[in-house]
Amino acid sequence: MNLLVRVLCFSMLTSLWSLAQAEGLTIEITKGSQSAIPIAVVPFAQQGTIGNVKLSDVIDSDLSGSGFFKALAEEDMLTKPSDPERVEFRDWQALGQDYLVIGQVAGNGGSFNIQFHLFNVHNGQLLMGYRLTVGANELRRAAHHISDLIYEKLTGRKGAFNTRIAYVTSVLQGGAKQFMLQVADADGYNPRTIAESPEPIMAPAWSPDGSKIAYVSFHTKRSGIYIQTLATGQRESVASYPGINGAPAFSPDGSRLAMTLSKDGSPDIYVLNLATHGLTRLTSGMSIDTEPTWSPDGSTIVFTSDQGGKPQLYTVPSGGGRATRLTFQGDYNARGRFSADGKSLAMVHGSGGRYRIAAMDMASRTVNVLSDGSLDDSPSFAPNGSMILFAANKGGRSVLSVVSTDGAMQQKLDFQSGSVREPAWAP
């Protein structure tokens, strides 16, 4: 087995390349939290022609998918008020609800006026009232924004519903496989193709400001690292050395790019200064060192290495220095990714032939297994640190899943159109 194949197998041990036959997107909550807070999101009253976006459904899905809330089914609602004066709190108390969301949306030419109210059902207190005006193509984003407002009000933590994800898909076109790098809303809707090639695309990584994506492409028949500006589509080649060019990761300030290169022999971790194009080599030896990720303060890089015989996570100062082993529990630990606050490190944790998503508490070094699959891969934290997006094997297909950081909730984003893998949550 040649070196390139070894590294690809090492870095993508649990990636799947299967093909689905249906189209569309299904969001399925596969595991719910018993302690989720009951909340009722009443269908918003609609005036005028609104289109096919039902705001209450989007908000309901967002809040339920977070693992913190359990939304009441519409068919179980006794009434469906849209005005605060028409709310009978006894009805919602009888249904065991803690919170109530009501709202209205009205079409106004090419724009829509939206208002909503959030109540505490137990005492009838109005917790939040909000109005906004959006364009016709911004209704889903407005619903995600409302979800973020409700989530932050009730949990004290910023929401992450009105964010984006990047991922790689592969589909068959005319009997040949086509690879696409796509960006979509955090719930998988509104996908947009950023790059496309008959050769593999992999390892998307967001810049800290969310304006660019670095990724690996084989469109020249050899690996290369590219940075693409989303607003313009402009693409820049930043690494095309002989051998392996892989696993790019932006520094927290966006000025540097960590990567894996084999130009000097074995695959090692390098840091590229994006302004000067100067390279700094951080690791050396005969082992495979790959999948770098930066600590939020930029002082440390965590990477995967088999220098101890099996893949484990190691740390090295980002300016250079001695590497130290970080993980010891399990047979396999790889693809480390920090939460934004640096308190947790997500990883692929292998034990007993199963590969699942786990999170390490950086203070105690305790590893908590979160997912329940057997071939889970590519973890990526939500910006608020409450959820982890990853690729999973469901029924022989590669799909995206989200698990809460306490492991209590898990949902599946089933795109049903090709193999979907290597997700990355935008900052």
Cα distances (angstroms) measured from residue 112 to each of 47, 135, 141: 10, 6, 12
Read off the pLDDT of each residue in 55-63 and give the average, rounded to a whole number.
94
Would you kindly state where each structural domain of the chain is located, as residue ranges? 3-25+163-425, 34-155
Q: Which helix (H) or strand (E) holds 140?
A: helix 139-155
CA pair distance 30, 39, nearest whole angstrom: 19
What CATH code is assigned to 34-155? Answer: 3.40.50.10070
Per-residue pLDDT band for 8 (boundaries 50, 70, 90) equals very low
CA pair distance 280, 177, nearest whole angstrom: 36
pLDDT of residue 416: 54
pLDDT of residue 67: 84
Entry pTM:
0.89
Residues shown for the chain: 427
Cα distances (angstroms) measured from residue 306 to each of 90, 268, 282: 61, 11, 16
Identify the burial level of 126 via C-beta atoms within 10 angstroms of its C-beta, where 0-12 means exposed, 13-18 middle and 19 or more buried: exposed
179-215 per-position pLDDT tens digit: 999 999 998 899 999 999 999 999 999 999 999 999 9
Is 34-155 in the same CATH topology as 3-25+163-425?
A: no
CA pair distance 90, 93, nearest whole angstrom: 5
pLDDT of residue 394: 76
- CATH superfamily, domain 3-25+163-425, is TolB, C-terminal domain (2.120.10.30)
Closest C-alpha among 89, 80, 91, 92 to residue 56: 80
- How many alpha carbons fall within 13 Å on the CB side of residue 328? 4
> Does residue 294 contact residue 303 with C-beta atoms inside 8 Å?
no
